[in-house]
Amino acid sequence: MTSSGRAAHWQAVYESKGEREVSWFQESPSPSIELIALTGAGPTSAIVDIGGGTSRLVDALLSAGYTGVTVLDLSNAALAASRARLGAASDGVDWIVADVTAWQPKRTYDVWHDRAAFHFLSAPEEQAAYVGCIRRAVKIGGHVIIGTFAVDGPEKCSGLPVTRHSADSIAALLGAGFKLTDHRRHQHATPWQSVQNFQFSSFIRMS
């Protein structure tokens, strides 16, 4: 799928569905919060949430005292919904509408977090572009957390095919310079109580 096609798809999803009408909704993003805490990130650490959309991770990060939060998503409608939900607190967040495969970050980050964006990138050139963006965006010594459908997770989401991953498959795509620090499974219950198997893989950038 082209970048413009992805943008149109996700804009339509967020314009037509409420927060609790999408399978990836989480009342509390506890797996992500725990993994971010394990990086040792402090209150002023620069954290970017890739494909953050309407996720409540930004709410949780702000409540925990983090002040250097960026949320990136393809859909302006999704980010507008998050800003509206947060109200005045949204002024402390950097909101970026962009396709991560083409994004040129203007700063570097201590923590890169992605729950359920990377697995939509199936073509080798898209995956390579994503990894290239990580290398532009994440500091040496910074952390990368990627949550995808596990190898026994769903094959599609939001009508689109996904690439299911293990920690090893993500490590192979990241290549040299990244050290695996944590990997764990998570069973996500959708708003309609079906279960989706996720894989979270955490890395530190060594070079």
Share of the chain above pLDDT 90, in %: 93
pLDDT, averaged across the chain: 96
CB within 8 Å of 141: residues ≥ 6 apart: 204, 205, 206
Residue 2 confidence (pLDDT) above 90: no
- Give the pLDDT band (50/70/90) at residue 5: confident
**How do residues 162-204 score in pLDDT, each as one tens digit?**
999 999 999 999 999 999 999 999 999 999 999 999 999 999 9
> What confidence category does residue 157 fall into, taking pLDDT thresholds of 50, 70 and 90?
very high
More confident residue, 6 or 101: 101
Summarize the confidence of residues 99-119 as an average pLDDT. 98
How far from 176 is each of 27, 102, 120, 168, 207, CA to CA, in Å? Answer: 36, 22, 23, 13, 8
How far apart are the C-alpha atoms of 130 and 93, rounded to whole Å? 23
Q: How many degrees, rounded to 5, is the angle at CA 166 between CA 22 and CA 123?
A: 70
Q: What does the pLDDT average to over 128-152?
A: 98
In the chain, the domains with their CATH numbers are 3-17+24-205 (3.40.50.150)
Which neighbouring-strand residues pair with 137? none
- Interior angle at CA 198, CA 195 and CA 200, nearest 5: 155
Tell me which residue of 81, 88, 90 sits closest to 58, measured CA to CA: 90
Q: Which residues contact 21 (CB under 8 A, 6 or more apart)?
A: 191
For residue 1, name the pLDDT band (cuts at 50, 70, 90). Answer: confident
pLDDT band with cut points at 50, 70 and 90 for residue 98 = very high
Mean local confidence (pLDDT), 126-149: 98
Q: What's the pLDDT band for 4 if we cut at 50, 70, 90?
A: confident
Q: How many CA atoms lie within 13 A of 101 on its CB side?
A: 19
